[in-house]
Amino acid sequence: MHDHARTTLRTHFDIVESPDCDIRAHLSEAVRASIRGVACRTGIDRRFIDALPRLEIIASYGVGYDDVDVAYARSRNIVVTNTPDVLNEEVADLTLGLLISVVREIPQAASFVRAGRWSATDYPLSPLTLRNRKVGIYGMGRIGRCIARRVEAFGLPVAYHSRRPADGVAYDHYPSLLDLARAVDVLISIVPGDLSTAKSVNAAVLAALGPQGVFINVGRGTVVDEAALVEALRTGTIAAAGLDVLADEPNVPDEMLALDNLTILPHIGSASVSTRTAMADLVAQNLVAWFENGAALTAVP
Ligand code: NAP
Ligand code: 8YV
């Protein structure tokens, strides 16, 4: 847990800590029986919940809650909270940074300077450009909208796919992800990781993006068929990709590391001091609100 959340929570509650989710191994039965709230940034499964007979609330550190068994928590009348909105702009900033890095080879160019190669020759012109591209956004929720605003400011048209048209946005909505991929040459994924999105960015979607295509994923790694992505990058089915998230973090498949046209970041979308502090605040505020007023601030739907 973030130190700021830990410090804030200590001023309101008695705290016990577990280094991982195997709480039966770390906490005695008597301690577990006293626990009424959990603050976490780890997977919370049925076994974890069953180990805490008096649990009322799980406050998860992050907006995505794919690693919390929400259905089981609900069946036990346990509230689950997340940290929406406070990270929207930060994650959108990182998304555009990653897109430009991939297209204009910023990490490679910086490495070129550090390697002392500039004095010998100019860095090669980037084969790709952002100019004249069409950007498709997969997910037009809180963060998707912030990404779209930035893309517009770069002078590029935006279209999107979500199951339902998003309220209050004028961008073209595609009811099918495949049709969206056919219509654009940049695809940015910012959907949650769940059964409905699992491996939905597959070989067909990547082929539809085309040989100039660029794929950016800041949502969840599980949304992508990673084997298909590696193959698409290796064979030139698409031009390049940038990933802030992987299916099995922090493990990076060797085949991915071998690709020059793939930029991988270590899940840093929200990872600035200020934004992570705001997320930590919201974790703590949810627990305080629940125990003081009986109503959490940001319970998941
Ligand atoms: P949100 O407001 O709930 O938006 C989710 C969007 O995805 C909605 O437009 C939703 O529309 C769409 N969607 C969901 N399931 C879909 C499906 N099966 N097919 C098509 N569209 C679908 O969520 P958010 O706050 O923007 O966050 C999105 C996700 O970003 C989080 O869940 C998290 O996994 C990820 N994230 C990553 C980082 C990072 O550090 N890389 C940071 C923050 C968040 P419909 O329901 O109409 O389909
Ligand atoms: C965090 C995220 O990295 O909010 C999310 O869903 O993926 C990120 O903001 C993570 O949740 C904290 O470990």
φ/ψ of 187, rounded to 5, equals -120, 120
Q: What is the pTM of this model?
A: 0.98
Which pair of tokens denotes residue 128? Answer: 């790709």
Mutate to test the pocket of ligand 2, among 267, 282, 300 (most ligand atoms within 8 A of CB): 267
Q: What's the chain's average pLDDT?
A: 97
CATH assignment at residue 44: 3.40.50.720
299 lies in some domain: no
The string of DSSP codes covering 149-213 is HHHHHTT--EEEE-SSPPTT--SEE-S-HHHHHHH-SEEEE----STTTTT-B-HHHHHHH-TT-
pLDDT digits (tens, 9 = 90+) for 46-73: 999 999 999 999 999 999 999 999 999 9
Q: How far is the CA of 142 from the centre of ligand 1 (A)?
A: 8
pLDDT of residue 215: 99
Q: Identify whether residues 103 and 240 lie together within a single domain.
A: yes
Q: Identify whether residues 93 and 160 lie together within a single domain.
A: yes
Site residues for ligand 2, CB cut-off 6 Å: 41, 61-64, 87, 267, 269-270
Q: Is the CB of 269 under 6 A from ligand 1?
A: yes
Q: Whose CA is nearest to atom 5 of ligand 2?
A: 62
129 lies in some domain: yes
- How many other C-beta atoms are found inside a 10 Å radius of the C-beta of residue 155? 10
Q: Identify whether residues 122 and 181 lie together within a single domain.
A: yes
Q: Whose CA is nearest to atom 4 of ligand 2?
A: 62
pLDDT at 278 over 90: yes
In the chain, how many domains are there?
Answer: 2
Q: Whose CA is nearest to atom 14 of ligand 1?
A: 191
Mean local confidence (pLDDT), 74-83: 98
Q: Identify whether residues 224 and 122 lie together within a single domain.
A: yes
Q: Identify whether residues 105 and 235 lie together within a single domain.
A: yes
301 lies in some domain: no
Mutate to test the pocket of ligand 1, among 2, 63, 169, 245 (most ligand atoms within 8 A of CB): 63
pLDDT digits (tens, 9 = 90+) for 87-105: 999 999 999 999 999 999 9
Q: Whose CA is nearest to atom 22 of ligand 1?
A: 162
Q: Identify whether residues 132 and 70 lie together within a single domain.
A: no
Q: Identify whether residues 10 and 109 lie together within a single domain.
A: no
Q: Identify whether residues 284 and 255 lie together within a single domain.
A: no
pLDDT at 257 over 90: yes
Q: Is the CB of 41 under 6 A from ligand 1?
A: no
Mean local confidence (pLDDT), 112-133: 98
**Could you list the residue range(s) of the whole structural domain that residue 53 is in?**
3-86+272-293
Q: Identify whether residues 17 and 92 lie together within a single domain.
A: no
Q: How far is the CA of 192 from the centre of ligand 1 (A)?
A: 4
Three-class DSSP category at 6: helix
HSE, side-chain direction, 13 A CA sphere, residue 78: 28
Q: Identify whether residues 70 and 185 lie together within a single domain.
A: no
Binned at pLDDT 50, 70 and 90, residue 42 comes out as: confident
